[in-house]
Structure 1
Amino acid sequence: MATTAPHDHRSAGVPAAATGLTFFAAVMLAIAGILDLFRGIMAIAQDDVFVRTPNYVFKFDLTSWGWIQLVLGAIAILVSIGLFAAATWARVVGVGIAALLIIANFLSIPYYPVWSLTLIALYGFTIWALCVVKPGSLND
């Protein structure tokens, strides 16, 4: 008599959900990274597009912020490529770069508030998606 092992339908769906969250994080990081890249180019090329708030505690030169946004956005795009390939290093670096970009966008709220808050939300979702994936399920 041949017996078959019991099949747990719930456990079969877990790797697919984890892969889906990793894919979601990769897409969010790529989109937000591209937006930050464009924002950096805007700030470098023509910083008079941005609103100036003279009484804000954190005052920075917009051209410097443009370079910061440009570099961090480019790194975010590269990390998202690693996430599409399901690399474990990309998951760790993705959380770190998203956290840095949340801080950078928080500090630039007075110059472009709606865009900053939108990107903070996108990076927050990215961190969430990367943190809820169980270790070892990236390659499933």
Structure 2
Amino acid sequence: MTATHPTHTPSGGHTAGESWAEGLTVFAAVTLMLAGVLDIFRGIMGIAEDDVFLSSRDYVFAFDLTGWGWIHLALGAVAVIISLGLFRAAMWARVAGVAVAGLIVIANFLSLPYYPVWSVVMIAFSAFIIWALCVVKPDRFAD
């Protein structure tokens, strides 16, 4: 059988399509939680003005490093909370997950000169989160 024609298992379990959707939801939840925790750590490093960050004077979106730290700390905390909702397959968490992953992409793009390699990694993480949350059919979610 192909993934486009799911069938019920003899034991009355999930179809292949349902298992795929649940797997993507768990993937998105775990990845969003990981991205959130890492963003929290990045925020703490920014607030503490750690020497890990580069300084750039000629950047259009120049914020104080402490300001970027608070932005990343807040986004990380929100991402962790939303990921908990994704573990319960709540529709609000799916919508909010796409939104916060998009905000993480924007924040990491704007703070690219301060921590370039990590910003690219977080943009890739967030892109996978958005993909995983957008390909699951809405009827797989509660609420």
TM-score using structure 1 length: 0.89
Residue 6 of structure 2 corresponds to which residue in structure 1?
Answer: 10
Secondary structure of 2:139's aligned partner:
coil
Q: Which runs of 5+ in 1 are unaligned?
A: 1-7
- Any conservation in 2 of the 1:44–1:67 contact (CA below 8 Å)? yes
Q: What is the Cα deviation at residue 9 of structure 1?
A: 6.3
Determine if the alignment matches structure 1 residue 114 to structure 2 residue 117. Answer: yes
- Select the structure with the greater relative contact order (CA < 8 A; seq sep ≥ 6): 1
Question: In the aligned structure 2, how far is the partner of 1:63 from the partner of 1:9?
Answer: 52
> Which of 58, 63, 72 in structure 1 is aligned with 2:75?
72
Q: Secondary structure at the match of 2:138?
A: coil
Secondary structure (helix, strand or coil) at the match of 1:60 reads coil
The alpha-carbon deviation at position 96 of structure 1 amounts to: 0.3
> Given the alignment, which residue of 100, 113, 127 partners 1:97?
100
The CA RMSD over aligned residues, in Å, is: 1.5
1:23 to 16, 23, 26: 26
Gaps of 5+ in 2: 8-14
1:26-105 to structure 2, matched below 5 A, reads: 26-105=29-108
Report the 3-state secondary structure (helix = DSSP H, G, I; strand = E; otherwise coil) of the residue aligned with 1:110.
Answer: coil
User: Which letter does structure 2 place at the counterpart of 1:79?
Assistant: I
Distance 2:97 2:52 in 1: 30
Query: If you compute each CA radius of gyration, which structure gives the higher value, 1 or 2?
Result: 1
Q: Which runs of 4+ in 1 moved over 2 A?
A: 46-49
- Percent of matched pairs sharing the same residue: 61
**Counterpart of 1:3?**
none
Q: CA shift at 1:23, angstroms? A: 0.4
